[in-house]
Amino acid sequence: MKNHIQHITFFLVLIFTSVSQAQNIKITGTLVEQETAQPIPYATVAIFNNDTKKVITGTTTDDNGKFNVAVPNANIYFEVSFMGYKTKTINKFSVSNNKIDLGTVQLASDNQALDEVVVSGEVSKTTFKLDKRVFNVGKDISSTGVSALEVLNNVPSVNVNIEGEVTLRGSGGVQILINGKPSVLADQSSNALGTITADMIESIEVITNPSAKYEASGTSGILNIILKKEEKQGWNGSISANTGIPDNHSIGVSINRRTEKFNLFSQFGAGYRSLPRDTEANNFNKTSGKTIASIGEEFRNESFFNITLGTDYHLNEYNVFTLSGNFAYEIEDQPSETNFSSFTESNLDSRWIRKETTEATNPKWQYEFNWKKTFKNSKDHTFQLSALGSFFGKDQSSLFTDTTVEGENVDSNQRTATNFQQADYTLKADYVNPISKEYTLETGVQYVINDVGNDFEVENFVNGAYEIDEDLTNNFEWNQKVLGVYATGAYENDAWGVKVGLRVENTDLNTLLTNTNEANARNFTNLFPTLHTSYKLSENFSLQAGYSKRIFRPRLWDLNPFFNIRNNFNVRVGNPDLLPEFTHSYELTSIYKIGKASLSSSLYHRYTTDVVERVSTFDNDVTYTTPENIGTNATYGFETNGKYSPAKWLTFNGDFNFNYFDRKGTFEDQIFDFTGSQWSTRLGSKIGLPADIDLELNGNYRSGFETVQGKQSGFAFLDLGLRKKIFKGKIVANLGVRDVFASRIQERFVNQTTFSTYDYSLRGRFITFGISYGFGKGEAMTYSGRRR
């Protein structure tokens, strides 16, 4: 509290002291840590009058810990302070030639203050901006060694199902960005988000109504993942090792070196993990009375290696260049075994075992160049140019064998081979001009190229030899180019703000099945207006409102027409003829504080046309699930989330989301008009225990909901974690348990006139233990490598 009062007094004096006052004595010095002799930047040096004890003037240290200031006379004393260090008073010095050289001033760490900082900073929290919410990722214990998908699962408004599909307020079509730009690491179709670990994430921006500055993709909004980049001078870093059940073993190193001109950063990771999954399915033919039932276990075993290298070069205080690259290589082994049974009425026709052996190698790399120019008149007056390129490849082969155990002989073998390559390129320029204190203009352009080739082959074992199945073999080429231009204008004062914008996007999409020469080309241009406003009624209560128009362009895995034949009686296939969804989104949000609690609540409405739904059809006892455009969806929802800290050692946080939807549409002469609702809630707590141990509990519940052909069940699950700090936090040990009761079960029911189906999926319980060591100025970061 004493430091806060001194800082406030110091800044008031700076504002009201006349700049014309004579200042004749020059004061210089350098501030460093007592333990490491590393410079301390941005610390406060306050100068007091010896008689009145009031602040005369002051300054802050630069990046190298140096400071200089002038005073009118030598009847003074100094107080040097910085958060996490003991304040130092200097009242003995000498004056020579109107100069005071304090030399090297050492500050000792304030262990008590450091502990308080760590406690307050470890719980993830949400802050609010004019057009977005920012979820600052703390060191949540249950997130030890987990991927970005699991971190997203702890973000208010966001849900991630067992399949890794990300939804925002219960709706799909989420655009995921990395550091504000598209990235191969954010590609949901390749499960690439699993390559980003919790320890690499600084914050996640939840943008339910994005401004025109952002790409219009994502009908339910945007999630922007901001990655960490160490900014402390000198050598900093962390070494981590993790192990877990099922197999989840990794080592990781994060190193950073910052100087006045350069910031060099690197990360290295390697490991092995196994992802088991239990499955169950039933297909019932209501016409013939025949049932195909299956139960099995699948694995995805992965060995991985990755390296990230990058540098920021500060040409001067107005120009910064960033060049970075990442390379990762993964080796997959996917064994599975499924037991099938075929019944007619209650009579067993046949029972057999289908085994799969799949091997794959996945190289991926990404490179980025970024130039940011800051203009001299304002630090917020900027121009930024970036170029991003990425590649993801998969060379995969699979062998499927069917072995009859009982009844009718159904023995058969199949082989598949996949050669997949995806290249993405993004060019982006953004200009921000704060015309005045209240008015800001933003404009920019973005050009995105997605180029994909997927050569897929299926062979059947016939008469002692493998023969190509021409109906299931083809080469799919997908090329999409999107050009976007935007402009926004904003006015914001202390109480009220408004931001309007318009984005124009042209989409050029081409798909081609080369073996059968089936081509599909589309070219369309759309306008995407946005409007945001906020009003601060008091220090404890604010309102926000927003509108945006969004687009969901079908992704590769929605369009790709190839069959997944792991379970050849429950087949998923894409649809090259899918049209994009368009959504009009409206939102009203209140933000308020009540005592020790901070809360926000939102009312929202979304209206979507050409909704993409997964539709099941039935043919010869096989269920085919394909995405189709079916009608419209009007959603009305309420969401609230908040945080409450009744004591320093106890914090609660949670959120609740409810929405009602009205679906209208037809498919193949069948009417899909119905209404329904779904809701989810989450409650987390962090408890400080003796001996520097923390306990964390996070409980989740997601309700079931109706689909166009049936329903999906709800489920509840609990995560917990324990953390122990050693040597003042330089070493940290974590124990995390995801899905403690193995209750995160996904069930899908389809009930139609001629058939019904049931699908069950369970990932199970995951236990991880990690230990990490931070060196230099780095803290133990529990970095666990980058994983798929």
Residues 404-448: tens digit of each pLDDT: 999 888 888 889 999 999 999 999 999 999 999 899 999 999 999
What is the rounded distance in angstroms from the CA atom of residue 176 to the CA atom of residue 581?
17
Please tell me whether residue 465 adopts helix, strand or coil conformation: strand
Residue 785: partners with Cβ closer than 8 Å, 6 or more residues away:
197, 240, 242, 250, 251, 252, 268, 269, 270, 271, 304, 306
| Sequential DSSP letters for 348-396 | EEEEEEEEEEEEEEEEEEEEEEEEEEE-TT-TT-EEEEEEEEEEEEEEE
Answer whether the bond into residue 529 is a cis peptide, omega within 30°. Answer: no
- The CA-based angle 574-577-581, given to 5 degrees, is 90
Contact, 306 vs 326, CB < 8 A? Answer: yes
CATH 2.40.170.20 for domain 275-776, yes or no, is yes
* Domain 113-227: top CATH class: mainly beta
Eight-state DSSP code of residue 87 = -
Integer angstrom CA distances of residue 441 from 376, 432, 544: 17, 6, 20
Q: What is the pLDDT of residue 678?
A: 93
Q: What is the pLDDT of residue 2?
A: 45
Contact, 577 vs 520, CB < 8 A? Answer: yes
What is the rounded distance in angstroms from the CA atom of residue 483 to the CA atom of residue 84?
48
| CA quadruple 556, 557, 558, 561: dihedral sign | positive
Q: Given the structure tokens 């792991």, which residue do they identify? A: 566
335-340, long-range: CB < 8 A, 24+ apart: 335/298, 335/299, 335/301, 336/296, 336/297, 336/298, 336/299, 336/566, 337/296, 337/297, 338/279, 338/294, 338/295, 338/296, 338/566, 338/567, 339/294, 339/295, 339/296, 340/292, 340/293, 340/294, 340/569
Please tell me whether residue 341 adopts helix, strand or coil conformation: strand
What is the rounded distance in angstroms from the CA atom of residue 423 to the CA atom of residue 187?
12
Domain range annotation of the chain: 2-109, 113-227, 275-776
The stretches in the chain having pLDDT less than 50 are 1-23, 111-123, 189-191, 232, 778-788
What is the rounded distance in angstroms from the CA atom of residue 558 to the CA atom of residue 552?
11
| Sequential DSSP letters for 169-185 | TTB--EEEEETTB--GG
Contact, 631 vs 638, CB < 8 A? Answer: no
Eight-state DSSP code of residue 434 = -
Q: What is the pLDDT of residue 73?
A: 84
Contact, 769 vs 244, CB < 8 A? Answer: yes
Please determine whether the domains at 2-109 and 113-227 fall in the same fold group of CATH: no
Contact, 662 vs 676, CB < 8 A? Answer: no
Backbone torsion region of residue 583, taken as left when φ is above 0, otherwise alpha when ψ lies between -120 and 50, otherwise beta: beta
Which tokens is 356 given?
């799969």
Eight-state DSSP code of residue 86 = -
Q: Do β-strands 336-344 and 347-374 pair in parallel, antiparallel, or remain unpaired?
A: antiparallel
What is the rounded distance in angstroms from the CA atom of residue 588 to the CA atom of residue 600?
11
Query: In this structure, what is the dihedral angle of CA atoms 615, 619, 622, 623, given to the nearest 10 degrees?
Result: 10
Q: To which H or E segment does residue 14 belong?
A: helix 2-16
Closest CA to 451 of 474, 427, 425, 483: 425
Q: What is the pLDDT of residue 16?
A: 39
Integer angstrom CA distances of residue 739 from 104, 165, 349, 582: 53, 17, 38, 36
How is domain 2-109 classified at the CATH fold level?
Immunoglobulin-like (2.60.40)
| Sequential DSSP letters for 210-234 | --TTS-SB-TTEEEEEEEP----SE
Q: Given the structure tokens 């020469």, which residue do they identify? A: 517
Q: What is the pLDDT of residue 431?
A: 96
Q: To which H or E segment does residue 151 belong?
A: helix 148-152
CB count in 10 Å sphere of residue 441 = 13
- N-term to C-term CA, the chain: 46
For residues 397-435, one letter each, b for 16 or more C-beta atoms within 10 angstroms of the residue's C-beta and e for the rest, the string is ebebbbeeeeeeebebebbbebebebebbbebebbbbbe
Query: In this structure, what is the dihedral angle of CA atoms 138, 302, 269, 695, given to the nearest 10 degrees?
Result: 30
What is the rounded distance in angstroms from the CA atom of residue 144 to the CA atom of residue 432?
38
Eight-state DSSP code of residue 96 = B
Q: What backbone torsions phi and psi does residue 142 show, to the nearest 5 degrees?
A: -70, -10
Closest CA to 80 of 117, 113, 33, 12: 33
Computed on alpha carbons and rounded to an integer, the radius of gyration of the chain in Å comes to: 30
